[in-house]
Amino acid sequence: MQEEGTHGRWSAVAALPAAAAALVYAWARWCSVGAAPPSPTVAVAGGAVLVLGASPAYAVSVRGACGLFGALFLALGLLSTAAATERTAARAETATCVVREVRAETEASLGEGGAEKTVYRLALDCPGGYPGELKDAPSPLSRGAEVRIAHDPRRRLSPVPAGAAGPWEPALSALLLLTSATVLAAHRRRPQP
């Protein structure tokens, strides 16, 4: 009888990554395209509560190295889920803007190899005055160049170049990380009675 209860508990822990991802997806979707979304402060705080609540719950339930790595995979998977959700949100309008200024910033990588990455930020002149800036432009553009920008007229989503990359990269990362967390929880040995 105790074995059935333990099996049910482990099944629930193994299902935690999928349940947490569904909650994060629903929260991020509501915050980005909902009819009456929360303020940006509440949106970020709510997302943080979901991520920072699910990961320790997982770590405490699974325990040991599997719990530690699974909680890390879960947190990263939930952040990737939020990123994929943001990328799928429709930016209903496009505008042809003129590049007013190009700022190049070099960022050092914290990973192995220490490779540097150049990030371009564009100051824009757009019809109606919005958007005024494009952060993380994919490549340098010269001053005076025209660029098509997709943006959300409600200003809840960051503007992106029209035709920008879809959600596949963060969605695949989320799937891989959440699957890893699920496998770690499912294969964690149950404690002996």
State pLDDT tens for residues 18-69.
999 999 999 998 888 777 888 888 988 999 999 999 998 888 888 888 888 8
Tokens of 18: 């999928």
**pLDDT given at position 92:** 74
**pLDDT given at position 40:** 82
Enumerate residues 6+ apart whose C-beta is below 8 A from 104. 118, 119, 120, 121, 140
Nearest to 128 by CA among 101, 157, 149: 149
What does the pLDDT profile of the chain (193 residues) look like in tens digits?
Answer: 444 455 556 677 778 899 999 999 999 988 887 778 888 889 889 999 999 999 988 888 888 888 888 899 999 999 999 988 887 777 778 888 888 888 888 777 666 566 777 878 888 888 888 888 888 777 777 888 888 888 877 777 788 887 776 778 888 999 999 998 888 887 665 554 4
Enumerate residues 6+ apart whose C-beta is below 8 A from 60. 67
Tokens of 81: 């889920």
87 vs 47: CA distance, rounded Å: 16
pTM above 0.75, yes or no: no
59 vs 144: CA distance, rounded Å: 53
